[in-house]
Structure 1
Amino acid sequence: MTADLFESVPDVRPSREAIAEGAVLLRGFAGPFEVELIADIGGIVEQAPFRHMVTPGGHQMSVAMTNCGSAGWVTDRAGYRYDGVDPESRKPWPSMRPSLHALAAQAAAEAGFAGFSPDACLINRYQPGARMSLHQDKDERDFGAPIVSVSLGLPAIFLFGGLQRSDKPRRFRLEHGDVVVWGGPARLAFHGVAPLADGDHAVLGRQRINLTFRKAR
């Protein structure tokens, strides 16, 4: 399938929720593309399996990760960075499938960020108990492009704060198919995910898959 299929989806406006200036939650936006997305993610994971990366401080992350696109986000003792090569296979990351790229571009446009063309997609797998501490996405070269985050599988509590780590974050329950987009004045907002509650999603089982699209280079 190609990105052309996205253009044939009926023009049904998603439920929109402003969560901060420059940040929008699009409820169910990815739902119509579920089958193709999950199939394409499976193909990517076959080429570049999930792994638990290690932070510069030596902490193993509870979230398992992989990437697709011309750049992939990695962390190890040397620091946080983007790399065009998978450090485990020493091969380029899998290409970003048209379905993923088209979804990210359409969600960004819906949120007011037209022309978004991501070159990196970080794919996170959360299993029960996994979490993501508050952080900023600031390893990209240009902060002019937004971040697009797609939730699939088990529901999660998304934490969205301000520009200071000390700012109290707001809590949003993200369901299968929800998409969060933030940029502009919210581009460097601190955000994270609370420990994932156990459950059994009808399609993905006991896990949550999160796609985070970025313009890295």
Structure 2
Amino acid sequence: MHDDLFSHLTSTPEPFVPGAYLLRDFVGQQDQPLLHDLQRILAQAPWRHMQTPGGLTMSVAMSNCGKLGWVSDRRGYRYASLDPLSGLPWPKMPPSFEALAQSAAAVAGCEQFQPDACLINRYESGTKLSLHQDKDERDFSQPIVSVSLGVAAIFLFGGLKRSDPVLRTELTHGDVVVWGGPSRLRYHGIAPLKPEEHPLMGRVRINLTFRAAG
């Protein structure tokens, strides 16, 4: 069941390609509860810059909440039930987060979405995320739900091969992208963030990416 917080929201899905949809301003005026819960998460699991398996430091700062958290280090990319910095379980996923993810997925036709992980990314001016696939999850039948907060960003959405053509779409505060089915393993990323400022979030962009990982 979806929490009442988002039960009133409506948005006409804008299809990218089969299985991928953009929900403009889906968050609406419910951004304050999300940001309040985000601060509680970060108090338990602060921002960190993870390492790639090759030893490079990622420019995007990250945290997690939920039963599982996405981590990266010399051992590779994977999900873990414990925060490697504290050795404690990741913060529980707040009801506001889960309700948003499930409501957005339902609007996009994925009524059974049950996220157990939320990767939280922080982008600053010049920060980018190279094209990649979300393929560390066990069940590819479940979609990805991605929520944008703060400074606008250019979302890059490619094909099933890294060399495929890339669609470029601006995402602004409150936008949600849902992709699954034939689009589930498409490459995607974020172009370098422009040096702009958002009235609520300042000079950063926060991205909440919900997955059914376990």
TM-score (norm 2): 0.97
Q: Give the conservation status (yes or no) of the 8 Å contact 2:5–2:99.
A: no
Matched residue, 2:80: 83
The answer for unaligned runs of 5 or more in structure 1 is none
Matched residue, 1:54: 51
Aligned to 1:32, the other structure's residue is in SS state helix
The answer for unaligned runs of 5 or more in structure 2 is none
Aligned length: 213
Matched residue, 2:143: 146
Work out which of the residue numbers 30, 48, 57 in structure 2 matches 1:33: 30
Matched residue, 2:155: 158
Deviations 1:184-214 (A, max 9, x none): 0000000000000011110010100000000
Work out which of the residue numbers 62, 65, 68 in structure 1 matches 2:65: 68
Q: Matches of 1:111 and 1:4 in 2, distance apart?
A: 18
Amino acid at match of 1:122: L
Deviations 1:102-126 (A, max 9, x none): 0000000000111101000000000
The ranges of structure 1 where at least 4 consecutive aligned residues each deviate by more than 3 angstroms after the TM superposition are none
| Percent of matched pairs sharing the same residue | 61
Q: Matches of 1:207 and 1:148 in 2, distance apart?
A: 20
Q: Matches of 2:64 and 2:191 in 1, distance apart?
A: 22
**Are 2:104 and 1:107 equivalent residues in the alignment?**
yes
Work out which of the residue numbers 168, 182, 189 in structure 1 matches 2:165: 168
Matched residue, 1:3: 3
Q: Give the conservation status (yes or no) of the 8 Å contact 2:129–2:189.
A: yes
Deviations 1:114-169 (A, max 9, x none): 11010000000001111000000000011010000000000000000000000011
Work out which of the residue numbers 128, 136, 145 in structure 2 matches 1:131: 128
Work out which of the residue numbers 115, 122, 133 in structure 1 matches 2:119: 122
